[in-house]
Amino acid sequence: MEILLAEKAGFCFGVKRAFELTQEAASTNHAGPISVLGPLIHNPQAIEMLEKLGVTTVMDLDHVSEGTLIIRCHGVAPNLIEQAKDKGLAVIDATCPFVRRAIRLADTLSTERYQVVIVGDPDHPEVIAINGATKNQATIVKEPGDVGKMEVHRHVGILAQTTQTLQNLQACVAELLKRSQEVRVYNTICTATSERQAAALSLAQQVDVMLVVGGRNSANTRRLVEICKDVNTVVYHIEIAEEIESGWFENVDKVGITAGASTPSWIIEGVLDRMSELNKELDTLQEENAQVEETEKQEETTEAPQEEKQEAPVEQQLADYESSFVDLQAGEIIEGRVEEVGPDEVMVDISYKFEGTIPTKEVGPGKLEKGDQIHVYVAKVEDDTVILSKRRADRELAWSKLQDAYETGQTIEAVVKERVKGGLLVDVGVRGFIPASHVDMGYVDDLDKYVKENAKFTLKVIELDRAKNNVVLSRKQVLEEEYEKAKETIYEELNEGDIVQGVVRRLTDFGAFVDIGNGVEGLLHVSEMSWGRVRHPKDVVAVDDTIDVMILKLEPERERISLGLKQTKPDPWTNIGGRYSVDQIVQGEITRIVDFGAFVQLEDGVEGLVHISQLADYHVTRPEDVVTTGEKVKVKILNIDEGAHRIGLSLRDAQENTKKQQEEIYQEQTDNGNVKIGDVVGDLSSLFNQSEE
C-alpha cells in the first residue's frame, strides 16, 4: 500500500509563525500571564498543548488586565493594539504578514480618501481587523451580487480577505469597474489555502482513500474534506493518529494524507507513523518518500494548466498588479520601508507579496523607526519567508560606492573616528585609513584634534582591495586639487583693486600671509597694513583674523599676490589741507627719532617731520637730547605737501610762539600790577613737560 502525503499540507506560514511566537513567549520569562485574543488556532490538540504552557484564550480585551497579550494571525484593528499597550500590556503581534499587508493597504486607501471595498466574510476576524484600519468605514461584499446593492464612489480601492478565491475577487472587481471611475485593485489573497486545496484535490484523484487530518472545528480542514469527497474518494476526517482504523484500508492500494493549515506537524507525523505501522507491505520509509517525490512531480505537471486558465477581461488588472510585485532573488539589494520594529524582528515592506524581516539584534535597538526608507540585502527567499539583512546591504553599498569613487576619482565624505599609528581611521561604511601624510597639504603634528572635533573630511580613494579589506584615503589630494582650482579662479576672476575677504594664516617680521580662498595665500606687507607707521605686523593683525584686503598686484607667472589692508580704509592724507594750515600750532606725539630730526604723529596715519634745525632755538647735535619717543609736543606747521604726504613742523617756533604769548600776558599783568612769578614759571614749565600732561 502506497502512502502519499499532499505536497502542501499542515501549518501555513502565518499559523506556524503565530504558534512559534506563542510557544516562545510561554517558554521564556515574560512578565505575568500570557493571553491570546481569540483562539490562536483551530486545533484542539494544539490549544491543549499551549494551555499546558500557561497560555489562555480570551475573547475580549476587557478580560485582560496584566501580562502579555498575543495577537493571533487574523490580526486586529490598529487601535486595539494601542488600547492594549495603554493598559500596560506587553503585546506580541503575531498577525500574519499577509493579513498585516491587507490592513496596511486599507489604512492607506482610507487615508487617501478611497472607498475601501473588502471582498470577504464580514464576520471573519480578519475582515473585522481590516475594516478596523478604515475606522469601520469599508464596504464589505461577499460576492459580485453584493456590489449591485452598494453605493459606489468615484474612487474605489478593493482588496480581499486572504482566504478568498481569485475568481470571486475578479468577479467583484468586474462589477465595480462598471460603476466606478477609478478602481484600484489589491490582490491580498494568500495562496496557502488554495495551494492546500489544489494539492488535496490532486492527491484525492490518485488514491483510494484520503485521510484529512485537522480539527473538526477548523473550517479550512472541513473544506478539504469536501473537496476530496467531490471526486468520489473515500475520505476520513481525523484529528489524531489514534482515530485511524485498520479496517479502512482493506484492498486499498493507495492512501493519501492531507492536513488543514491549522494542523501542527507533530500530528501529521503521528498519522504517518501510524500508517507506517499499518502498512506491512512497505519495506522502508525511504521507499515511501521516493513515491511521495514521484507523486509530487506528477502533481506539478498536472497543476500547470490550471494557472493558464486564469484569463478573463478583468484579469488583466489583477495580472498588472501581480506583476508590480518585485521578483526577489537572494543576493539582491533592494529598497524597503520599515513597517514595524519588534523585539525580535523588523518588518520591512519590500513591495513583495509579504514583508521581509531583519533580525532586530542585527540592527540594534533604537536604530530604526517605522517609516524609515532603507536598503536591505535579500539573504533568503522562501515561499513564506524573506530574510533580509541591513548590515550586509550597507556594507555592499559602501564597497560599491568606494569602488565607484576609486574608478572615477570622485570624492566621498567621512567622519574621523579614531587616531591610530600612522594616521586616522574614518567611517566610509567600512573602515578606511588616512595615512598621516595624506591628512593635509602640509605636516600635521596633532592628529588627535580631528578625532575630538569629529571632523568630517572630503576624501579620495587612493587604494582599494576588498579581499584584504583595505581602503586607503587621501584628504591631501582633495585639498591640492581645490587649491589648484582656487588659484586658477583667483587669477582668472580677480583683478587688481578688488577687495576680498581673507584669513590671516601666518605672521612674519615683514608682513602677514593671508588665505584668500582654499589655501591660496597673498602677502600683506607691513607697509600696506596702515596709513600710519607699523612697528610690527602683530600690532595690526593676528593669526586667524578675518580681514578685508585689496588685491594690489597679481603675478600668476611668479604665483605671487600682493595685498593691502590700508587701501580698504580712507586715506587720511586726502584733504589734509582742509584740516591743517601753515602756521597752525597743533599737538602731536613723537613717534620716531632720526639723525636729522623727529617724526611727530598728528593723527592716525599722518606724520610730519621736525627737522633737527627746528627742534630748538639753539644748535642741536642729537635730536634725542631735546625730545623722546612717545612725548607729546606742540608743533607749528611750516608747510604741507599733500601729494608727497609730507608736513614740515617746528617745535622751536611753537615754543617761541608760546613764550611770546606768555610775555604778552606777563606784560599785561605787570601793567595792571597783578602778577605772580608762579603764573609765568608754571606756564613756561608746561611747555617743556608736555609728556606730563
- Near ligand F3S by CB under 6 A: residue from 13, 457, 513, 573: 13
Q: Are the C-beta atoms of 552 and 513 separated by less than 8 Å?
A: no
Catalytic, 126? Answer yes
* Residue 261: CB minimum distance to ligand F3S, A: 5
Closest to ligand F3S by CB, 196 or 274: 196
Closest to ligand F3S by CB, 8 or 274: 8
What is the rounded distance in angstroms from the CA atom of residue 188 to the CA atom of residue 99?
8
* Residue 16: CB minimum distance to ligand F3S, A: 8
Positive or negative: CA dihedral 549, 550, 552, 556:
positive
Is 12 a binding residue for ligand F3S by CB under 6 A? The answer is yes
Q: Tell how far CA 292 is from the center of its chain.
A: 51
Beta strands in 604-679 (DSSP E): 606-611, 632-641, 646-650
- Near ligand F3S by CB under 6 A: residue from 3, 227, 261, 524: 261
Closest to ligand F3S by CB, 99 or 259: 99
600 SS3 class:
strand
Of residues 86 through 125, those in contact with ligand F3S by CB under 6 A are 96, 98-99
Closest to ligand F3S by CB, 98 or 531: 98
Positive or negative: CA dihedral 286, 292, 294, 296:
negative
Q: Tell how far CA 267 is from the center of its chain.
A: 48
The closest residue (CB) to ligand F3S is: 14
Closest to ligand F3S by CB, 19 or 249: 19
552-590 core/surface letters (b: 16 or more CB in 10 A; e: else): bebeeeeeebbbbbbbeeeebbeebeeebeeeeebebbb
Task: Report which secondary-structure segment, H or E, holds 184.
Answer: strand 182-186
Q: Which stretch binds ligand F3S (CB under 6 A): 45-53, 187-195, 441-449, 641-649?
A: 187-195
Of residues 231 through 260, those in contact with ligand F3S by CB under 6 A are none
Q: Which stretch binds ligand F3S (CB under 6 A): 21-29, 59-67, 186-194, 240-248?
A: 186-194
- Near ligand F3S by CB under 6 A: residue from 192, 271, 635, 647: 192
- Near ligand F3S by CB under 6 A: residue from 22, 68, 139, 193: 193
What is the rounded distance in angstroms from the CA atom of residue 218 to the CA atom of residue 224?
10
* Residue 97: CB minimum distance to ligand F3S, A: 7
Catalytic residue among 126, 288, 345, 528: 126
Indicate the burial class of 38 (C-beta count within 10 angstroms; 0-12, 13-18, 19 or more).
middle
Sequence letter at residue 8: K
Residue 240: phi and psi, rounded to 5, are -140, 165
Q: How many residues bind ligand F3S (CB under 6 A)?
A: 13
* Residue 196: CB minimum distance to ligand F3S, A: 8
* Residue 163: CB minimum distance to ligand F3S, A: 6
Of residues 152 through 171, those in contact with ligand F3S by CB under 6 A are 162
Tell me how crowded residue 318 is: count the other CB atoms within 10 A of its CB.
19
Of residues 60 through 89, those in contact with ligand F3S by CB under 6 A are 73
* Residue 12: CB minimum distance to ligand F3S, A: 3
* Residue 15: CB minimum distance to ligand F3S, A: 5
* Residue 354: CB minimum distance to ligand F3S, A: 8
- Near ligand F3S by CB under 6 A: residue from 14, 75, 144, 537: 14
Q: Which stretch binds ligand F3S (CB under 6 A): 12-20, 28-36, 311-319, 461-469?
A: 12-20
Indicate the burial class of 208 (C-beta count within 10 angstroms; 0-12, 13-18, 19 or more).
middle
Task: Report which secondary-structure segment, H or E, holds 341.
Answer: strand 333-341
Alpha-carbon distance values, 442 to 156, 439, 474, 476, 544 (Å): 67, 8, 13, 8, 17
- Near ligand F3S by CB under 6 A: residue from 3, 41, 190, 224: 190
Pick the closest to residue 196 from 276, 268, 125 (CA basis). Answer: 268
Closest to ligand F3S by CB, 81 or 156: 81
Closest to ligand F3S by CB, 115 or 197: 197
C-alpha grid cell for residue 614?
627746528
What is the rounded distance in angstroms from the CA atom of residue 476 to the CA atom of residue 559?
20
43 SS3 class:
coil
* Residue 159: CB minimum distance to ligand F3S, A: 13
Residues marked active site are found at 126
Q: Which residues bind ligand F3S (CB under 6 A)?
A: 12-15, 73, 96, 98-99, 162, 190, 192-193, 261
